[in-house]
Chain A
Amino acid sequence: MYNEATVVGSVVEGLRKQFPHVVCVDDGSTDGSQERARAAGAVVVQHPINLGQGAALQTGIEFALQDPELDCVVTFDADGQHRVDDAKAMVDRVLAGEADIILGSRFLDDRTKLSPAKRLVLKTAAVQSRLATGLDLTDAHNGLRAFNPYVASNIHLTQNRMAHASELVNQLAKLKPKYAEHPVEIIYTDYSKAKGQSLLNSVNIVAELFFK
């Protein structure tokens, strides 16, 4: 979470209806997001400085792994783009033993509305990901994931910013867990589109992955 004070409260409340343990990793927010998240019932783990989404994810995973009763981790965006129902369905599949990790995909159904440019960039990323890793995903850059402690303890993200999504896929390709994709809806609001990464950031991601 980075400066999502306006929406994080309702996002956490929505999650708490289905999940008792909501952890919010605060990436150095300056707008009081931490208090909103706490008031809504989340545990806030606070980065002392802003590091990036990849770093926040890794912190959240390491925090969760401290719990011996952990059975499933869900990575869920704080800006309201993800649907709790999708997350619940994915967790159910992991807990049923169907897979070690369930990855969300925007392209398995028609719910998500994407601009043609964004659709092209994401599909290209998926093709490139398949060629580079052998992992056949329709959406290689989706933030909604559910995975078990086995996968959680074998993920070590070093890409602090947005390249972490590709780094995670690369690590999954080496780990070879049982995986499946699940249709998810990404709700693009004016708010989230204004804050989200521009398509040009794909240049930065490629550079960061090339030079590691």
Chain B
Amino acid sequence: MLIIVQLVLVVAVMVVSLALMRGGSNARHLAVRRMLLMIFAVVAALSVFFPEALTRVAQFLGIGRGTDLVLYGAVVSLFVFMATTYQRFRHAENALTKLSRRIAIDEAPKPNEFV
């Protein structure tokens, strides 16, 4: 029974991670991710003041301690952060490439000039 809950939990974590990582860079996805981040931060802060609350949730899910739950959330957050940072990097790289290309082509002689 416990193993089923654990498997479901692992699958849920993976699906959520992938969805958040691959989730698009449009404004709506960004807003959703930011809201989830705020909720996670609030929950983590509350767990400091009410440690038993999180432990009760964790035990309901079959995880040992409340802090373990926070740990899983932190790991998911880490992967999401890596993915979104990489996305931002790719956008910057594309912009830089277009800029460089424009300079290169503008500075070169036009094709019909060197026939």
Contact = CB atoms under 8 A, between A and B. Distances in A.
A67 B111 contact: yes
A43 B97 contact: no
Interface string A1-43: 0000000000000000000110001000000000000000001
A63 B103 contact: no
9 contacts: A21-B111, A25-B104, A44-B108, A46-B108, A47-B101, A55-B97, A62-B105, A66-B105, A160-B97
Interface string B83-108: 10010001001101100110111011
Interface of B: 83, 86, 90, 93-94, 96-97, 100-101, 103-105, 107-112, 114-115
Contacts of A59: 101, 104-105
A66 B111 contact: yes
A21 B109 CA distance: 12
A189 interface: no
A160 B96 CA distance: 11
Given A47-B101, A55-B101, A59-B101, 20 more contacts: A43-B109, A43-B111, A45-B104, A45-B107, A46-B107, A48-B100, A48-B104, A49-B96, A55-B100, A58-B101, A59-B104, A59-B105, A62-B101, A63-B105, A66-B110, A67-B112, A70-B111, A158-B94, A158-B97, A160-B97
A205 interface: no
Interface in A45-78: 45-49, 51, 55, 58-59, 62-64, 66-70
A33 to B, nearest CB: 15
A47 B97 CA distance: 9
Contacts of B112: 67-69
B105 A212 contact: no
A17 to B, nearest CB: 17
A70 B114 CA distance: 13
A44 B97 CA distance: 18
Contacts of B109: 43
A-B residue pairs, 10 tightest by C-beta: A67-B111, A45-B108, A59-B101, A45-B104, A47-B104, A66-B111, A48-B103, A55-B97, A47-B100, A48-B100
